Amino acid sequence: MKTLIIGAASTLGREVARSLAKRQHHLFLVGSDARDLEALARDLSVRFNAKVQYIMMDMIALDTKKLMKEVHNKFGRIDNLLCLTGFHHEDENQFMDEKELTRLTLVNFEAPVKIINRFIEDLTSSTQGNCVGLGSIFAQRGRRTSIIYGSCKHGLEYYFEALRHRFANTRCRVQFYRLGWVETQDSRDNRFFKPASVVMVAESIANGLGKDRLNSYLPGWWQFVVFFYKLLPWFIFKRLTKF
């Protein structure tokens, strides 16, 4: 299986790469930091004897044409595409300059859509293709603390739903996960919810390949929290400042 991982330098990307390398996938890693990608590629080949290639590409300066050319030249056609990019701004409640706003929309929405669009032929022609995307529990109800991030992830959710419909008559499977708090750099100290282990989340994503999983929560118990969160009446919801 040939797998392309976008956002492989992140904590989650790294763990997913490990889970897939364990399952003998051939990996092509894309990330924004060459030092991390090099270290990860070495790690995967030392630990799992995996075949790994990588390219440094920042989502802000994304060139999908170049990416596809590199992937096809070095790697060939892909079976799986995992878009694990995501970026959350610390303080979306405050005024945000346009540069930051563009960055947020690029990383969280535009880049995954552009990349999937570029590789759509690879995925449809593969006999066991998978397209994986990540959403967020933040995108389940519009709220003041993540206006842009939440909107982008909500948009991505819609895109993946449409993608699933598009791939319905092909062998390509679509998985879209709504992530809860995960032990990554962006997870903040939370008094109520303990962040989930990255390894557990990565294993779930790797195990989900080959299955149709639209809007699954990771970890699963978040669906109950979000269910009640959505039911909150407006007069209570508007008073919530943190959540």
- Choose which of 1, 22, 33, 114 interacts with other proteins (CB under 8 A): 33
Binding residue (CB under 8 A) for other proteins from 6, 7, 14, 182: 14
Residues 94, 127, 185, 241: which binds other proteins (CB under 8 A)? 185
- Is 39 an interacting residue with respect to other proteins (CB under 8 A)? yes
9 forms part of the interface with other proteins (CB under 8 A): yes
Out of 1, 11, 51, 70, name the contact with other proteins by CB under 8 A.
11
Using CB under 8 A, which of 43, 161, 203, 212 touches other proteins?
A: 43
The burial class, CB within 10 Å (0-12 / 13-18 / 19+), for 237 is middle
Q: Does 61 bind other proteins (CB under 8 A)?
A: no
Contact between 48 and 21 under an 8 Å Cβ cutoff? The reply is yes
Residue ranges binding other proteins (CB under 8 A): 9-11, 14, 33, 35-36, 39-40, 42-43, 46-47, 184-185, 188-189
